[in-house]
Amino acid sequence: MTRHPKFSFGRLRGIIVKEFTQMRRDRLTFAMMLGIPLIQLTLFGYAINSDPRHLPAAVVLADRGPYGRTLLYAMKNSTYFNFVEQVATEKEAHNLLARGEVQFVINIPQNFTRDLLRGDRPAILVEADASDPVATGNALGSLGNVVNTALQQDLKGSLASLNATDGPVDVQIHALYNPEIVTQYNIVPGLMGVILTMTMIMITGLAITRERERGTMENLLSMPTRPSEVLIGKIVPYIMVGYIQVGVILVAAHFLFHVPMHGSIILLLLVALVFIAANLAMGITFSTIAKNQLQAVQMTFFVFLPSILLSGFMFPFRGMPPWAQVIGEFFPLTHFLRIVRGILLKGNAFNDVILQLWQIALFALIALIIGVKRYRQTLD
Amino acid sequence: MNAESAIDVRGMTKRFGGRTVVDHVDLQVHTGQIYGFLGPNGSGKTTFLRMLCGLLRADDGSGRVLGYDVIAESDAIKREVGYMTQRFSFWEDLSIEENLDFVARMYAVKNRRATVRESIAQLGLAGRKKQLAGELSGGWKQRLALAACLIHKPKLLLLDEPTAGVDPKARRDFWEQIHQLSAEGLTFLITTHYMDEAERCHRLAYISFGKLLADGSVDDVIAQVGLTTWSVSGPDLPHLAEQLRTQPGVQQAVAFGNALHVSSDDATALKQAIAPFQHPPYDWREIPSGLEDAFISLMEGSKDNFTP
Ligand SMILES: Nc1ncnc2c1ncn2[C@@H]1O[C@H](COP(=O)(O)OP(=O)(O)OP(=O)(O)O)[C@@H](O)[C@H]1O
Ligand SMILES: [Mg+2]
């Protein structure tokens, strides 16, 4: 055990061939591969509602007068908005929106105060990232009311006449990325992540416990194999399974749910590879820890449930309490959801997704290292 | 270190949760020898073999297997040892050919395809190579397992009950093959519960409750036990056996066909004990003790040592 044999690609290939052959003959794997996506796609036709607050917003404030600020103050007081940035140009603001750093951009035009006092009924523009409509819905709904009641308090006396029936300000809302606010547009791409998480962890979670339960582990360990060869050899064949699922979901997303696909599908497939690898590595690590197949399945659910609850799939991520967000950041699914929605709905490019992508890659690497360390080369 | 030794280990010990399952076992096996490893169920045979090939970490012990350190160089040992597990442990959802091919890849066998083809032909399974291993009968599984263990041309074979459940003809063929390979210089350590197989080994070791109780050639082992045996024939032997077993000087009274073998390691006490029965219609003869008598005596003796 002091002197390890060198990593051998010949042996790795041998293990891959073996796993492929076994997978081909295992009906359960096939059932999981196609059954799980179909069932989940059918089940998740609805979303669970919620009322997230303190959503990050950016401001483009061109108005010099006092009323622009009064407005922003009122919006903040409504607890729906949390102004995190003030930017000079609309272009900058759009970048923040595209990267998902803010949910809203509030534009208060030049001469807003002047126009208001003149009774011209000036407009403010609110742009919202509506790719997750549940997250933005309530905030937008409250907006008109918040703005106009705030001004009514200030416009008293001689100015009271400005309180026209429509309100002194014209609040214009632009829902970006998902203008019709269709919930499926958000759910279906998210399902891709959920389905991959569940099947990939489960399939590989069984990989090593199965060898142990069938008694073949003793044989495998008596051969001069290295842990990394065994683990990687067991991961590779299932990447293909993952891609088949991605394919099924993309086809369903396009033809059944008419989800827009603004970004590059190639980029999506590349990101999916990293995400699949992360889940497989996690599964294989569970497999080295679990004593039997049942435990491996239980461990899968131990990760699966919190990741669908805390990743932003079930509830809008920004609606969760801070501690839940911190936990959520650990799950690869959280980052994958942002990427998939970003690519499909916002047309994100590589530069926009890299920030999330490396976190998934890091997770995959750490999981694999733990797996290799945990893999016991003896039967004790 | 003796270059002639394929296995030379001392003090091999394994504990499972405070229970010592293999207790300071020393074993030396010369190159080319067929070494039989016997002992009752649960005596620690499998555990001992697993320690030799690095599948279990020994709690104590040192020595060499094929010249490599048994504790520190298990990777090197694995490359040159063929280990056949007691329970069939090849992949039942792979075919015969796929199993052999996988093993050949794991050991980086040269001319893999040709070697696998040859191995299948030797097994006599050329027509069934696509059959799944799980569909084979028990005896055929054993043969497949042996073929797989040999595919990388190991120098030492550790075979754990390789003939359990195999028919007599196949067993004979199996032993023929073992002797042939041993003549070519392969070393074997084989566990078995069959006396006839024990007698086919060059040397034997007997282990009970983790302790090595006897080792040497068949005759050595019998001599070490120092048993005296009398054979008696006559009417109603079961009744006689019952009476004899109550005598303090008798350790065993076992029926063998039409005779009863009565034995003890104390010759005089035995003689006194059987004296009251030495009259017609019983016919008494002193005979050389057999291996089985010796083993049963060892088993009984070790039980006394271990039950407080
Ligand atoms: N992994 C383990 N954990 C705990 N105890 C074990 C383990 N493996 C074996 N044992 C115990 O060690 C003892 C020796 O077992 P072993 O399998 O070596 O016996 P054996 O001589 O091969 O028996 P058999 O003839 O039945 O195959 C048994 O009492 C067994 O219960
Ligand atoms: Mg055994």
- 8 Å CB contact of B56 and A378: yes
Where a domain ends, among A123, A150, A176?
Answer: A176
pLDDT for the residue numbered B165: 81
Q: Looking at the structure, tell me whether residues A277 and A192 fall in a common domain.
A: yes
A303 and A190 inside one domain: yes
Ranges of CATH 3.30.70.260 domains, chain B: 228-288
Task: Look at residue A161 in the predicted model and tell me its pLDDT.
Answer: 62
Ranges assigned E (strand) in A249-340: none
Number of the ligand 1 atom closest to the C-alpha atom of B47: 18
Report which residue type is found at A275.
F
Confidence at residue B308, expressed as pLDDT on a 0 to 100 scale: 38
Report residues of chain B scoring pLDDT below 70. 1-3, 302-308
Choosing from B45, B57, B192, B299 the residue with most ligand 1 atoms within 8 A of its CB, the one to mutate for a pocket test is B45
Same domain, yes or no, for A207 and A84?
A: no
How far is it, in rounded angstroms, from Cα A317 to Cα A320?
A: 6
Tokens of B104: 């050949």
Query: How would residue A47 be classed by pLDDT, with cut points 50, 70 and 90?
Result: very low
pLDDT of residue A46: 43
Average pLDDT over residues A310-322: 83
What single-letter DSSP state applies at residue A320? S
Instruction: Report the pocket of ligand 1 as residue ranges, CB < 6 Å.
Output: B 16, 21, 39, 41-47, 86
Domain membership of residue A120 as a residue range: 55-176
What is residue A100's predicted lDDT score, i.e. its pLDDT? 84
CA of B43 from ligand 1 middle (Å) equals: 7
Does residue A259 belong to any structural domain of this protein?
yes
Task: For residue A4, name the pLDDT band (cuts at 50, 70, 90).
Answer: low
In a domain, A17, yes or no: no
Collect all residues of chain A within an 8 Å Cβ-Cβ radius of residue B135.
Answer: none
pLDDT at A305 over 80: yes
ipTM of the complex in this document: 0.85
Comparing B183 with A175, which gets the higher pLDDT?
Answer: B183
| pLDDT recorded at residue A114 | 87
The residue from A120, A152, A176 where one domain ends is A176
C-alpha to C-alpha distance for B208 and B51, rounded to whole angstroms: 17
Q: Could you tell me the pLDDT band of residue A249, with boundaries at 50, 70 and 90?
A: confident
Q: Are residues A104 and A197 in the same domain?
A: no
**Residue of chain B whose Cα is closest to the Cα of A216:** B89
**DSSP string for A205-254:** HHHHHHHHHHTHHHHHHTS---HHHHHHHHHHHHHHHHHHHHHHHHHHHH
CB contact under 8 A, A218 and B94: no
- Per-residue pLDDT tens for A76-96? 887 788 888 888 888 888 888
Ligand 2 center to residue B38 CA distance, Å?
10
Identify whether residues A290 and A251 lie together within a single domain. Answer: yes
Beta-carbon contacts of residue B239 (< 8 Å; ≥ 6 apart): none
Q: Report d(CA A138, CA A297) in Å as an integer.
A: 38
- The CATH 3.40.50.300 domain(s) of chain B lie at 5-221
User: Is there a single domain that holds both residue A205 and residue A169?
Assistant: no
Q: What is the pTM of this model?
A: 0.77
Residue A67 within a domain:
yes
Do A243 and A319 lie in one domain? The reply is yes
Q: Has residue A239 got a pLDDT over 70? A: yes
Answer whether residue A2 shows pLDDT above 50.
no
Place of tokens 């396009």: A254
Please tell me the predicted confidence (pLDDT) of residue B2: 47
A175 C-beta neighbours (distance < 10 Å), count: 18
If one counts every other C-beta atom within 10 angstroms of the C-beta of residue A16, the result is: 17
A214 with A273, same domain: the answer is: yes
Nearest CA in chain A to B132: A25
Arithmetic mean of pLDDT over chain A: 83
Residues A271 and A279 sit within 8 Å (Cβ to Cβ): no
The pLDDT value recorded for residue A44 is 67
Residue A61 lies in a domain: yes
Nearest ligand 1 atom to alpha carbon A380: 1
Residue A27 lies in a domain: no
Number of folded domains that form chain A: 2
Chain A residue numbers with beta carbons less than 8 Å from the beta carbon of B97 are: none
DSSP state of B70: T
- The superfamily in CATH containing domain B5-221 is P-loop containing nucleotide triphosphate hydrolases (3.40.50.300)
Do A231 and A314 reside in the same domain of the chain? yes
Query: If you take atom 17 of ligand 1, which residue's CA is the nearest one?
Result: B46
List CB contacts (< 8 A) between B50 and chain A.
218, 379
In terms of domains, do A82 and A143 share one? yes
d(CA A2, CA B174): 37
Is residue A85 domain-shared with residue A231, that is, in the same domain? no
Q: What is the pLDDT of residue A101?
A: 87
What is residue A39's predicted lDDT score, i.e. its pLDDT? 80
The separation between CA A182 and the C-alpha centre of its own chain, rounded to angstroms, equals: 17
The pLDDT-based confidence of A315 (bands split at 50, 70, 90) is confident
- What phi and psi values does residue B71 have, to the nearest 5 degrees? -90, -45
The string of DSSP codes covering B234-269 is: -S-HHHHHHHHHTSTT-SEEEEETTEEEEEES-HHH
Distance B16 CA to ligand 1 centre (A): 9
Radius of gyration of chain A (CA): 26
Question: A192-195 long-range CB contacts below 8 Å, 24 or more apart?
Answer: A192/A245, A192/A246, A192/A249, A192/A250, A192/A253, A192/A272, A192/A340, A193/A275, A193/A311, A193/A313, A193/A333, A193/A336, A193/A337, A193/A340, A194/A40, A194/A308, A194/A313, A194/A333, A195/A36, A195/A37, A195/A40, A195/A245, A195/A249
A100 and A245 share a domain? no
CATH class of this structure's domain B228-288: alpha beta
Q: Rounded CA gap, A266 and A354, in Å?
A: 15
Residue bearing the bigger pLDDT, A208 or A274:
A274
Taking contacts as CB-CB distances below 8 angstroms, the residues of chain A near B85 are 215, 218-219, 222
- Give the distance from CA A265 to its chain's centroid: 17
Q: For residues A330 and A355, give the distance between their C-alpha atoms in angstroms, rounded to a whole number.
A: 14
For residue A135, the domain's CATH number is 3.40.1710.10
Q: How far apart are CA B197 and CA B193, in angstroms?
A: 8
Chain A, nearest residue to B14 by Cα: A380
- Count of C-beta atoms within a 10 Å radius of residue A347: 15
Separation between Cα atoms, residue B94 and residue B84, nearest integer Å: 18
Bigger pLDDT: B199 vs A186 = B199
C-alpha B282/C-alpha A359 separation (Å) is: 89
